C-alpha cells in the first residue's frame, strides 16, 4: 500500500494454481503498526502519518499540477 495522508492506494495480490482462484477480494489490515512518516498539507510537511498494516517505508515525492 501507499499512503500519502490525503490518498491511500492498496493492492492485494495472490498467486494460485487454479483458474480464477483469487476472485474474492480480501480486506486490507488497517491496524496501526507503530511506524510513522511525515505527510504534507500544501507546502507544510510536518504532519505525522500513522502507518498501518504492512506499511514499513517512508517515501518522498513531489507532484506538480499544471493549471
The predicted model scores a pTM of: 0.64
Asked if the model's pLDDT at residue 13 lies above 80, the reply is: no
What's the pLDDT tens digit per position in 34-47?
999 998 888 888 99
Specify the pLDDT at position 67. Answer: 66
The closest alpha carbon to 5, from 62, 54, 47, belongs to 47
pLDDT tens digit sequence for 16-65: 888 888 777 777 778 999 999 998 888 888 999 999 988 899 988 877 88
Instruction: State the Cα–Cα distance between residues 56 and 51, nearest whole angstrom.
Output: 7
Domain spans, the chain: 2-52
- What is the torsion angle, in degrees rounded to the nearest 10, for the CA atoms of residue 14, residue 20, residue 24 and residue 28? 20
The per-residue pLDDT for 3 is 81
Amino acid at each position: 500500500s501507499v499512503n500519502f495522508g490525503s490518498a491511500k492506494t492498496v493492492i492485494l495480490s495472490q498467486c494460485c494454481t487454479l483458474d480464477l482462484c483469487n476472485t474474492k477480494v480480501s480486506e486490507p489490515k488497517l491496524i496501526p503498526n507503530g511506524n510513522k512518516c511525515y505527510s504534507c498539507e500544501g507546502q507544510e510537511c510536518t504532519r505525522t502519518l500513522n502507518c498501518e498494516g504492512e506499511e514499513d517505508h517512508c517515501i518522498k515525492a513531489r507532484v506538480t499540477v499544471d493549471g
